[in-house]
Structure 1
Amino acid sequence: MSAPTQPGKPTPDNAAPAAAAPPRRARGLRAQVNGLVGLLTVLFVAWLLVLKVNNLRDSVKEEVVAANRVATQLLNRMTWLAASQGTSGVLGFLNGVGRIRSNDVTLTNAQGQLLYTSPPSPYKAGRDAPDWFQRYIAPEPLMQAFEFPGGRLEVTSNASRAALDAWDELIRFTTSALALLVLVNVLVFWLVGRAVRPFGRIVRALGELESGRFDVRLPPLPGREAAAIGAAFNRMVGQLRAHIDTEKRAVLAERRLLDSRELTHWLDQHIEQERRSIARELHDELGQSVTAIRSLALAVARRVDDAESRQAAQLIADESSRLYDAMHGLIPRLAPLVLDSMGLSAALQDLAERTRRAHPDLQLSLQLPAALPALQPDAALALYRAAQEGLTNALRHGAAQRIELRLWAEGGELRLRLRDDGRGLPAQWQALPGHHGLRWLEERVGGLGGRMSVQSAAPQGVELQVGLPLQPRDEDQNQEGDAAAPHNDQGDTVMPMPRGTGKEAP
Structure 2
Amino acid sequence: MSTAPAERALRILHVEDSELDHQLILAELRRAQIRPEVLRVDTLAGVQQALLEEWDAVISDYNLPGFSGMVVLDLVKARQQPVPFILVSGEIGEDTAVAAMRTGASDYLLKNNLARLAPALIHAIEAHESERARLDANRELIKSKQQLHELAGHLQTSIEMERAAIAREIHDDVGGTLTALKFDLAWIARHALDEGVKQRTAAALETVSSAIEASQRIMHNLRPAILEQGLVAAVQWMAARFEKRTGIVTTVRTSHEQMNLPPAVPLVAYRTAQEALTNVSKHASATRVDIELSIDSGVLTLELSDNGQGIAPGALAKARSFGIRGLHERAATVGGWVDLSSSSKGVSLILSVPLEAKGEEDLGLEGLFTAMHDPSMWTE
Q: Shorter-chain-normalised TM-score: which range?
A: 0.5 to 0.7
Instruction: Pick closer, same or farther for the CA change 1:411–1:196 going to 2, 3 Å.
Output: same
- Which structure: larger Rg? 1
Is 1:320 equivalent to 2:208 in the alignment? yes
Counterpart of 2:349 in structure 1 is: 464
Is 1:268 equivalent to 2:119 in the alignment? no
Identity level (%): 25
Instruction: Pick closer, same or farther for the CA change 1:376–1:26 going to 2, 3 Å.
Output: same
Residue type of the alignment partner of 1:470: L
Q: Deviations over 1:241-292 (max 9, x none)?
A: 2222222222222222222222221221222122223224323543232122
SS of 1:375's equivalent?
A: coil
Aligned partner of 1:346 among 215, 221, 233? 233
SS of 1:397's equivalent?
A: helix
Q: Separation in 1 of the partners of 2:283 and 2:120? A: 56
Counterpart of 1:392 in structure 2 is: 278
Q: Give aligned pairs, total.
A: 282
Aligned partner of 1:207 among 51, 58, 66? 58
Counterpart of 1:422 in structure 2 is: 308
Q: Deviations over 1:391-445 (max 9, x none)?
A: 1112211212222111111222111111112222233444312321221121121
Counterpart of 2:28 in structure 1 is: 198
Q: Deviations over 1:143-171 (max 9, x none)?
A: xxxxxxxxxxxxxxxxxxxxxxxxxxxxx
Q: Separation in 1 of the partners of 2:319 and 2:211? A: 36
SS of 1:417's equivalent?
A: strand
CA contact (8 A) 1:373 1:470 kept: no
Is 1:369 equivalent to 2:276 in the alignment? no
Counterpart of 1:220 in structure 2 is: none
Instruction: Pick closer, same or farther for the CA change 1:244–1:370 going to 2, 3 Å.
Output: same
Q: Separation in 1 of the partners of 2:312 and 2:205? A: 48
Unaligned segments of structure 2, at least 5 residues:
1-14, 39-55, 60-75, 85-110, 361-380
CA contact (8 A) 2:256 2:295 kept: no
SS of 1:377's equivalent?
A: coil
Q: 289-298 vs 381-390, which deviates more?
A: 289-298
SS of 2:58's equivalent?
A: helix
Is 1:244 equivalent to 2:132 in the alignment? yes
Instruction: Pick closer, same or farther for the CA change 1:433–1:26 going to 2, 3 Å.
Output: closer
Is 1:440 equivalent to 2:316 in the alignment? no
Counterpart of 2:51 in structure 1 is: none
Q: Separation in 2 of the partners of 1:195 and 1:236? A: 16
Q: Separation in 2 of the partners of 1:29 and 1:365? A: 84
Q: Separation in 1 of the partners of 2:117 and 2:314? A: 46
Q: Separation in 1 of the partners of 2:201 and 2:283? A: 41
Q: Separation in 2 of the partners of 1:239 and 1:430? A: 38
What is the TM-score with the length of structure 2 in the denominator? 0.64
Report how far residue 226 of structure 1 moved. Answer: 4.5
CA contact (8 A) 1:368 1:408 kept: yes
Report how far residue 194 of structure 1 moved. Answer: 5.6
Instruction: Pick closer, same or farther for the CA change 1:306–1:376 going to 2, 3 Å.
Output: same
Residue type of the alignment partner of 1:374: N
Report how far residue 350 of structure 1 moved. Answer: 0.4
SS of 1:463's equivalent?
A: strand
Counterpart of 1:19 in structure 2 is: none
CA contact (8 A) 2:230 2:258 kept: no
What is the TM-score with the length of structure 1 in the denominator? 0.49
SS of 1:467's equivalent?
A: strand
Counterpart of 1:256 in structure 2 is: 144
Residue type of the alignment partner of 1:358: R
Is 1:455 equivalent to 2:341 in the alignment? yes
Instruction: Pick closer, same or farther for the CA change 1:422–1:237 going to 2, 3 Å.
Output: farther
Residue type of the alignment partner of 1:236: A
CA contact (8 A) 1:374 1:472 kept: no
Instruction: Pick closer, same or farther for the CA change 1:272–1:203 going to 2, 3 Å.
Output: same
Q: Which structure's residues are more often strand, by fraction?
A: 2
Instruction: Pick closer, same or farther for the CA change 1:474–1:330 going to 2, 3 Å.
Output: farther
1:105-116 superposed matches below 5 A: none
Q: Separation in 2 of the partners of 1:392 and 1:239? A: 52
CA contact (8 A) 1:414 1:469 kept: yes
Report how far residue 207 of structure 1 moved. Answer: 2.6
1:327-338 superposed matches below 5 A: 327-338=215-226
1:28-427 superposed matches below 5 A: 197-198=27-28, 204=38, 206-207=57-58, 226=114, 228-339=116-227, 341-360=228-247, 362-427=248-313
Q: Separation in 1 of the partners of 2:144 and 2:193? A: 71
Unaligned segments of structure 1, at least 5 residues:
1-24, 32-191, 216-222, 476-506
CA contact (8 A) 1:424 1:460 kept: yes
Q: Separation in 2 of the partners of 1:252 and 1:473? A: 27
Report how far residue 224 of structure 1 moved. Answer: 12
Instruction: Pick closer, same or farther for the CA change 1:29–1:456 going to 2, 3 Å.
Output: farther
SS of 1:390's equivalent?
A: helix
Q: Deviations over 1:111-151 (max 9, x none)?
A: xxxxxxxxxxxxxxxxxxxxxxxxxxxxxxxxxxxxxxxxx
Report how far residue 469 of structure 1 moved. Answer: 1.6
Q: Deviations over 1:4-49 (max 9, x none)?
A: xxxxxxxxxxxxxxxxxxxxx9766977xxxxxxxxxxxxxxxxxx
SS of 1:386's equivalent?
A: helix
SS of 2:193's equivalent?
A: coil
Instruction: Pick closer, same or farther for the CA change 1:467–1:207 going to 2, 3 Å.
Output: same
Aligned-residue Cα RMSD (Å) equals 3.6
Residue type of the alignment partner of 1:390: A
Residue type of the alignment partner of 2:123: R
SS of 1:456's equivalent?
A: strand
CA contact (8 A) 1:406 1:418 kept: yes
